[in-house]
Amino acid sequence: MKTLYSFTVILGLSFFVSSYSKIENTNFLYTKTPNAAIINTTPNDDQNEISNDFFKRYSDLKKYKSDVMSLYKNRSLGTIWYDEDQINEFASALYQKAKKTNDLVIPYQKEIDQLFDSSATTNLSKTDADILLSSLYIVYAKKSTSDSSKKVSYDAMLKDFMNYSTIEETTTVSTNEKVEFDQYYKLQDVLKKYKKLEKSSKWQPIVTETPYKDLRPDAVSNTIAQVRTRLYLLGDLKQDSKSNVYDRELMDAVMKYKVRNGFKPNYILAEEHIKEMNVPISDKVKTLQLNMERCRTIAAEIAGKDEYVLVNVPSFELIYVKNGKVQLKSSVFVGAPLTKTTIFNGEIDRIVFSPYWTVPQSIVENELKSKIAADPNYLAEKNMEIVNGQVRQKPGPENSLGLVKFMFPNPDDIYMHDTPAKTLFDFEKRTFSHGCINVKMAKELAAAMLKDYPEWTQEKIDSAMAGKTEKSFKLAKKVPIYITYFTSLVNENGEIGFFQDVYERDQESVSQSVVSN
């Protein structure tokens, strides 16, 4: 039984996979790319010139021009349907669905068909091909919905793909905080930026003084100037003054850097922070690519769920989502390297208040026996008892499971629970448990999950948590839980975060890739 402490997660994931599961496993490579302009990186006049030229040549699409160009508005990258020179699976899904739609007339179908025929050649530039596919999406979307007022934008288009198993269905865009399902594409955007940075000569190792001393506000050091340049390249600083003084401007940038990467939010620059800044940009590129692949394995499952809990181990964070909105975020701590938290999906079927903690026999043998032998009062002092030959801890505020636990059947006997050890959430690397997930805001999570149960008032919840006997409540509707392992994610502010590879799963994946190649 894996127990003791618990962990939590975050994430806004991505990439709608189920739409692609039936598509033939074919790589569509576009090899001819003359005039492959990036639409949004050119000045406005050039953008207009490009679009005007396209719709002049493809006059049957002119009536869709405004909607088509809306897809490219505020895009950090121009092309939508390409990854480098390769048509992506997003485009393949659109093509397959469009062809299967009854009575849909596909404009310039011959040109579009050639893009998805690996044996065909085409004279289309990447820019023309991308706008042509965007036009196909608009034609398809207008055929698939009766809502003429539906907003056309890149984000709305993504939601069509991410939130439903078919893009014929409509979606309502809320101004409230939404769960992002386009994590795959957000990581993809970051990847392209990092690849450009990798090709430049700007990324240089930060050289520190020996022995290293923590850098604090008002410090003066050559290292400070190098850190300033690094944070400018990463986007945490708007300008690089080259100053070697740890000033207010740099303090704000350091805080931004630390928060998005899961470090403790303070202004101290320890050696470990410099070490993380010095991770080669090529390694960051590999991390982004690896996590994009991880998005594929989970996004399709999450896309159809209106309620779920998601725990991301590397970022030590949990989110609870209901009706497409984030209801709660919480810090967590997870299994130690020798008692790792298992990465899997399950369903929460019970909430248990004032739980007993049945101590795993391994803990009894390895940890408790010697303590009991040395102190006859040990069990009583720890509010423990022996029942049917098993050691268990009685309910109470000092119980190792805290005041509430969340059960989801699984062969490893992992569950989520509260904990009295709140100080452990102050650590940056939170791998303390025997496998279970310890949730900082467990009480709040229980209250949020019970909002649809009128009998569970806040008063009743508080009373159940303060009980002297265990009380279990079976949920009428099971809540999916996803325990994930993402070492890079883009947050709700569009900022990339890189997290600790606490279980060395990234290293294993890279090693397997090398072997397979």
Query: Quick one: 505 exposed, middle or buried, by C-beta within 10 A (0-12, 13-18, 19+)?
Result: middle
DSSP state of 429: S
For residue 288 the two structure tokens come to 């982004």
Distance separating alpha carbons of residues 484 and 318, to the nearest angstrom? 10
Distance separating alpha carbons of residues 290 and 232, to the nearest angstrom? 25
Closest CA to 483 of 315, 296, 358, 290: 315
Distance separating alpha carbons of residues 501 and 7, to the nearest angstrom? 15
Distance separating alpha carbons of residues 510 and 507, to the nearest angstrom? 5
SS3 state of residue 412 = coil
Q: Going by C-beta distance under 8 Å and a sequence separation of 6 or more, which residues neighbour residue 516?
A: none
Catalytic residue of the set 273, 295, 434, 436: 436
Contact (Cβ atoms closer than 8 angstroms) between residue 33 and residue 122 = no
Q: Is it true that the peptide bond before 395 is cis, omega within 30 degrees of 0? A: no
Query: Quick one: 461 exposed, middle or buried, by C-beta within 10 A (0-12, 13-18, 19+)?
Result: buried
Verify whether residue 434 is a known catalytic residue. no
Torsion, CA 237, CA 242, CA 247, CA 249, rounded to 10? -20
Distances (CA, A) of 285 to 13, 188, 196, 390: 18, 10, 10, 50
For residue 17 the two structure tokens come to 């996979």
DSSP letters spanning 454-480:
TT--HHHHHHHHT-SS-EEEEEEEEEE
Distance separating alpha carbons of residues 408 and 272, to the nearest angstrom? 36
Q: What angle do CA 130, 81, 118 make, to 5 degrees?
A: 85
Verify whether residue 417 is a known catalytic residue. yes
Distances (CA, A) of 487 to 224, 315, 501, 507, 510: 27, 7, 6, 11, 13
Distance separating alpha carbons of residues 294 and 287, to the nearest angstrom? 11
Terminus-to-terminus CA distance in the chain, angstroms?
Answer: 38
* Residues identified as active-site: 417, 436
